[in-house]
Structure 1
Amino acid sequence: MIDTFSRVLTDHTFQIVALATVLLGLVNGVLGVFLTLKRQSLLGDALGHSALPGIAIAFIIIQDKNFLLLLIGGGIAALLATGIIQLLSNSPSGIKQDAALALVLSSFFGLGTILITYIQRFPNASQAGIKNFIFGQASGMLRRDLYLIGIFTILAFILVAFLWKEFKLLSFDAIFAKMQGKKYAYLESLLFLLMVFAIVLGLESVGVVLISALLINPAVASRQWSDKLSIVVLLAAVFGGVSAFVGTLLSSMGQQIPTGPAIVLVISGIAFFSLIFAPKNGLLAKLVRHHRNQKRLLKDLTRSAKQGGNESC
């Protein structure tokens, strides 16, 4: 067991994949907090599925697995899907946002599946591994992919730190922020663009089906431990990074264990543990506080009744 553990940690491929997935876990955890605070968790799922036809069309055009160009194609498709969702939500037809999300998600994902089936006829389709974008295949990551993810992660962290107050206002009171001028409208677009890039970058490792879990689950887990935004963001980054490393390690040590689902299972386990056992907002903590409040209320009522009886005497 120890020998296997040492061999995996020293493996060059594991080091590249682990570092890339950890960076993705960190940045998705941070950005996912703002997405959940804006009550747009389902949007991450829709964007992930909507990116699939863009990736497929990009491959049909370039006939090569160029990670950057494929991601550009996926990003364009995700932005197009978002525009359609906003158009449907704001149209006089009365379509609500959840219905628009479901419509766009299913349509784009169905188109992407058809295009990937068509791509399988190409002689270089199996080598390109386009089909792996559905469920992810982190083992196919290269050093250039790691560099691209690293550059984006650093850029995203710098922007979040520099625009912390503005992103905080957008997350808690978007209507008031928009009333402050066009500056906040541009910043909201910037925040959304960062989320799109984070989602698209994670498609190769986790896949379109599971990418929303990498974005949302760390935020859900961290919110159970604190109500302070800075701590929630920090914990979300830690949870995302740790789950990415542990999931990649389990995938490398096991046999035929896909990396993406392993990462999602780990972060889901952290989320469920936090929902139950977190001392701040966990289910058990809330039950204990509720029980204590009931006892305190009963004691106050009993004391009041006794005082009322004494005064009547």
Structure 2
Amino acid sequence: MKVIDLRSDTVTLPTDAMRQAIFDAELGDDVFEDDPTVNRLEGEAADVMGKEAALLVPSGTMANLVSILTHCQRGDEIILGDKAHTFLYEAGGISAYGGIHPHTLENRPDGTIDLSEMEAAVRLDNVHFPRTKLICLENTHNVCHGIPLTKAYMDDVADLTHGRGISLHIDGARIFNAAVALGEDVKTLVTNADSVSFCLSKGLSAPVGSLVCGTELFIRKARRVRKGLGGGMRQAGIIAASGLVALDETVERLAEDHANVRRLAQGIDIIVGLTVDLNQVYTNILYIDLVDDSKTAQEVVTTMEAE
């Protein structure tokens, strides 16, 4: 029986073109910054995002951690949503390794944070308080149904940071999904962000890797942070080769994923006992609710496994 694994877009497998690119990759030593395939990927990533430079890291979690540690010093504070992946699912790394204080605000159902609450959360310049140094947004927002944040909203948040010594980081693990869903050029979405990270190993189908993008100065600092975290890799062109194929060939196919998810959602919604809010299906993430409160989600999963 053929099984279609829909647990996550992280289970995607490399395409034949990626496997061939890995085999053919020209290699060097990325810690010495002389791996030509990595250098090419970082250049293309920076160009796609409209930033000056980029840095390859092993994972999305490290991409966010490197970005935040580069923006902040120990004792600084970041503002982020209470449903943000960085807050919920990244092992508390910003505090464990950076001594950085998370100030969480409520994520609304569409993944946004109320701008007035965000502005009120910015600390006064007072010795009693940590310094607000960074605002983090997630686009698309995983826990909030994969909803894309609009350019207008992200620009409003960027405007809030201006003149305050606060930076804006976008956790763009699925930023290409957001761009496709909104019909926007991805670099337009992140124009006013100081840094953005994105994953190669989710919908883009590469086996591993994420990129951090920002100014040349920011990336120079981030490279040092990456090394300290153990993220410096040697012949990393093996990884970068599939990333180049992902940027060149896979992004344009994300619309197919979105269409398939909507088709799946429509089918599930007619199954007795299950429901899907079709108005919340925007990209490649689907949440299913139970109509019958007498059964838990785990009981339904167990029944499905038995069948």
Between structure 1 and structure 2, the one with the greater Rg is 1
Shorter-chain TM range is under 0.3
Normalized per residue, the structure richer in helix is: 1
Normalized per residue, the structure richer in strand is: 2
TM-score, structure 2 as length reference: 0.23
TM-score, structure 1 as length reference: 0.23
Q: Name the structure, 1 or 2, with higher relative contact order (CA <8 Å, separation 6+).
A: 1
